[in-house]
Amino acid sequence: MSEAVFSCQDMVCGYAGQSVVRGVSLDVGSGEAVFLVGPNGAGKTTLVKSIAGLLRPFSGTVQWQGRDVTGLDPRQLGQLGIVHVSEASSVFPTLTVLQNLQATAIALSRRPRSEDLERVYEIFPVLSHRRKQTAGTLSGGEQKMLAVGRALVARPALMILDEPSSGLSPRAVGELATGLGAIATSGVQMLVVEQRLDLAEGLVGRTYVLQRGVITWSGPSAGLRTTAAVVEAVLGHGIGSARDRTQNP
């Protein structure tokens, strides 16, 4: 593994004084895509919210490029190049695709750049065809691509994605996975929280398994669905099964 540019150490976090995540440590190397998988209720989203500045951890540290960034809010982290894409599609439904992308640049107090927009359209060609369409009329998969595209306009060094495939059809998951692969190969570090092992296998990198608030396994993402420890811990909970491949195209 390459030298870590991002890490969290001994993270303990939860709600109302009750710990959900207990002593979790993980890291992301330079140019690496890292997955965090596990069943519902394992604490994945709680951990990501603590990393992304949406929830204050009870204890533990978050490091970015050698700097302690524990407790910084999302805007401060964004200024350092860390961008979070939540499970709920983060788009403005009454604005067009183009306006959504431009809004990200404006929120960062800079003018939208054509090269940023073209990068998004190159990675997600469907958004180029929909650029004049209001976001609220897009399919679920297209809205998720737009949410990722908005994050790209922020020119992230590290992109944190929480359940990007949630609620999407197999076709939409495939298109999203292709786009994420292109982002990863462009040099953007990625931390992806998922319930689908097939999506994790599609990107070169490493995977951590989180169960009941603790890491129970870590290793290469390749071959996850044939790794006994991962199958026992995760796959039995329906990850990547037909019931998880739901309605939105």
Report how far residue 190's alpha carbon sits from residue 34's, in angstroms, rounded to the nearest whole number: 6
Q: How far apart are the first and last CA of the chain?
A: 36
Going by pLDDT thresholds of 50, 70 and 90, the confidence category of residue 236 is low
CB 26 within 8 A of CB 216: no
Q: Report residue 167: phi and psi, to 5°.
A: 75, 10
Closest by Cα among 24, 32, 9 to 157: 32
Domains in the chain, please, with CATH?
4-244 (3.40.50.300)
Q: Would you say 57 and 50 are in contact if contact means Cβ atoms under 8 Å apart?
A: yes
pLDDT tens-digit map of 117-169: 999 999 999 999 999 999 999 999 999 999 999 999 999 999 999 999 888 88
Closest by CA to 81, choosing from 151, 30, 164, is: 151
Angle 149-162-143 from CA coordinates, rounded to 5° = 40
Cβ contacts of 248 within 8 Å, gap of 6 or more: 139, 140, 141, 167, 168, 169, 172
Q: How does the average pLDDT of the chain come out, rounded?
A: 88
What pLDDT digit, counting tens, does each position of 21-66 carry? Answer: 999 999 999 999 999 988 888 999 999 999 999 999 999 999 999 9
pTM of the model: 0.87
* Mean pLDDT score, 182-211: 87
Residue 242 reports pLDDT greater than 80: no
Rounded Cα distance, 43 and 155, in Å: 28
* 125 against 104, higher pLDDT: 125
User: Residue 214 is encoded by which pair of tokens?
Assistant: 């603790």
Q: Are 171 and 141 in contact (CB under 8 A)?
A: yes
Alpha helices in 52-169 (DSSP H): 74-79, 97-107, 114-123, 125-129, 140-153
Whole-number Å distance between alpha carbons of 207 and 62: 19
100, 135, 154, 165, 192 from 132: Cα distances, Å: 10, 9, 21, 25, 29
Residue 228's pLDDT is what?
66
Give the type of residue at 65.
Q
| CB distance 50 to 25 below 8 Å | no
